[in-house]
Amino acid sequence: MTGFLDDLAARRRFGIKPGLDAIRGLCAALHDPQKRFRAIHVAGTNGKGAVCAILDACLGPGGDGDTKLGRYTSPHLARINERFFLGGTPVDDESLSTVSAAVAAALERSGDPAVRDVTFFEALTAVAFELYARAGATRVIMECGLGGRLDATNVCNPELCVITRIGLDHCDWLGSTLAEIAAEKAGIIKPSVPVVLARNDPSVVAVVEARARAVGAPFYYAPDLASNDDVPQSFPLLGLFNRENAVTAVAALRVLERVCGRRLHAVEAGLQGVVWPGRFQRIGPFIVDGAHNPPAATALAESLKPLCRDREKPDLIFGACGDKDVGTVLRTLSPLVGRGFAVRTNNPRSLDSVSLSRKMHDAGIDAKPCASLKEALAISRSRTSSSDDIAAVVCGSLFLAGEALVELGAYPWPSGRIDPSELP
């Protein structure tokens, strides 16, 4: 798979190119695999990956028993295989290599320059379409990458659309207000295809409901269909925001029952068995979270408050990409943390530790740069005096969260060693 991964890495030079012509052309060269399965299409700013994971747990082998259920999400934490689930587990290297070769061949023989120059994400999305079509997937839970209207996943064939919380992120691409961003996310809504919207600001609700009405799509507001009482106390994902994600997923499942005309009997079992690592995950004395934008930082802070009450403030181990609103994220977390340790993530867009430590100081955090995540974890671990102590919160990037899971021995799937060639 090395050759294809190298080609994908080279495709970063094409950056982000919103639009559907290239992915449509590539899909046509592959005989339109995206038309050979039904999709549950999920967009949003935060929580969309968690909703996908919850739906997968409730509909797949651990829940309703669908062994041909696919799930496509991004980014990955440690291995690229994580983006492609089938039957409840990441696809194996051999399957991914075979399909990747087919996509690479289609790119090579295409005479369309736009197709030959597809981006990193477009190429991976084509791999997902081809992979699930070849596997005979009955249904694929498909997460949008950026936005919705012009996202490569938006050529899928949805039976249900879900839109999670909308917040201010990727403003250069999607707009500077909640309403503008909501309009881009609502671009996934299709005629006659039901759409479920998570609890959101009234301006978001108005935009999404208007779009649904305009195209003739049944609109459902998740809080009208489900509540926190529908989420078992044994739900394994920590954090208040994850319970809200579960409410959205339950509402989506209830709408799906109407679409399919049959009852789903294992929703509670699925809710109790969901695995979605690196999102407010407690690992010994550490909390690992992928919060990387202001709305996610606010959700993280709200979940930290009850854990940190009447305790010594935990350290903050932080790494982030330079294209994020790092200042706002840090100012949101600053009142809840003590010392700070800045680390560089395994991503080309990462801020270096010295620059990041300055930003942490500017946000009111007494911070120092660290040569590695391993060093920062060791320093923080040395301060714990009991098993209940929270030594540090590790956050700022999903790439950092993945590195932390591997370093702490908590990566949940086989082959958890980080291979630098496979990092996004």
C-alpha to C-alpha distance for 134 and 278, rounded to whole angstroms: 30
Amino acid at 145: G
Q: How far apart are CA 190 and CA 172, in angstroms?
A: 25
Q: Which of 15-19, 197-201, 364-368, 403-407 has the lowest mean pLDDT?
A: 15-19
What are the tokens at 35? 């038309």
Q: What is the mean pLDDT of the chain?
A: 89
Query: Of 26-40, 58-72, 300-314, which gets the smallest average pLDDT?
Result: 300-314
CB 373 within 8 A of CB 380: no
Average pLDDT over residues 361-379: 96
Write out pLDDT tens, residues 132-142: 999 999 999 99
Distance CA 418, CA 408 (A): 12
Quote the pLDDT of residue 4: 58
**pLDDT of 337 above 60:** yes
Q: What is the pLDDT of residues 60-73, one digit of tens each?
A: 998 888 899 999 99
Token code pair at residue 149:
């209207």
| Helix (H/G/I), strand (E/B), else coil: 278 | coil
Q: What is the pLDDT, as a whole number, of residue 109?
A: 87
Report the pLDDT value the prediction gives residue 3, as an integer from 0 to 100: 59
Q: What pLDDT is stored for residue 162 in this prediction?
A: 98
- Token representation of residue 380: 């923080």
Q: What is the mean pLDDT of residues 107-111?
A: 85
Kindly state the tokens that stand for 241: 């925001």
pLDDT value of residue 420 = 40
**Domains, the chain, ordered by start:** 2-273 (3.40.1190.10), 281-422 (3.90.190.20)
pLDDT at 172 over 80: no
CA dihedral 194, 200, 202, 205 (to 10 degrees): -10
The predicted model gives 207-234 an average pLDDT of 97
The per-residue pLDDT for range 178-192, each reduced to its tens digit, is 999 999 999 999 999
> What separation, in Å, do the N-terminal and C-terminal C-alpha atoms of the chain show?
15
Q: Evaluate whether 373 touches 343 at the Cβ level (below 8 Å).
A: yes
Q: Please list the alpha-helical segments (H only) found in 309-397.
A: 326-333, 353-362, 373-381
Instruction: Give the highest mean pLDDT range of 96-110, 221-235, 257-271.
Output: 221-235
CB neighbours of residue 235 within 10 Å: 17
Q: Which two tokens stand for residue 189?
A: 């809504």
3-state secondary structure of 220: strand
Is the pLDDT score of 416 beyond 60? no
Q: Which residue has the higher pLDDT, 292 or 135?
A: 135
> For the CA atoms of the chain, what is the radius of gyration?
21
Q: What is the pLDDT of residue 353?
A: 95
284 vs 391, 394, 405, 423, CA distance in Å?
9, 12, 11, 26
Residue holding tokens 């009991």?
Answer: 386
Long-range contacts of 346-349 (CB under 8 A, 24+ apart): 346/399, 346/403, 346/418, 346/420, 346/423, 347/321, 347/397, 347/399, 347/423, 347/424, 348/12, 349/321, 349/322, 349/323
The pLDDT score that the predictor gives to residue 424 is 41
pLDDT at 18 over 80: no
pLDDT at 147: 84
Nearest to 357 by CA among 343, 346, 347: 343
3-state helix, strand, coil in the chain (%, to 5): 50, 15, 40
Q: How many CB atoms lie within 10 A of CB 261?
A: 6
Torsion over CA of 230, 236, 237 and 243, rounded to 10 degrees?
Answer: 10
Its sign, for the CA torsion 416, 422, 423, 424, is negative
